[in-house]
Amino acid sequence: MIRFGGLIILTAPNFLHEGDHVHLGYGLTSKRLTNPAIELANLPPIDLIVLSHMHEDHFDRFVQKNLDRDIPIVTTEESAGMLKEMGFRKRYPLRTWDSLGVEKGNATLRITSMLGRHGPPIIAKLLPEVMGSVLS
Domain containing 76: what range?
Answer: 2-135
User: pLDDT tens digit string along 36-60?
Assistant: 999 999 999 999 999 999 878 889 8
Q: How confident is the model at residue 30, as a pLDDT?
A: 86
Round to whole Å and give the CA distance between 11 and 70.
16
Secondary structure element (H or E) that encloses residue 22, with its range: strand 21-25
CATH number of the domain enclosing 32: 3.60.15.10
What's the number of domains the chain is made of?
1
Structure confidence by residue, pLDDT tens digits, 68-122: 999 999 999 999 999 999 999 999 999 999 999 999 999 999 999 999 877 777 7
Q: Is the pLDDT of residue 26 over 80?
A: no
CB 129 within 8 A of CB 94: no
Task: Kindly give the pairing relationship between strand 132-135 and strand 7-11.
Answer: unpaired
pTM strictly above 0.85: yes
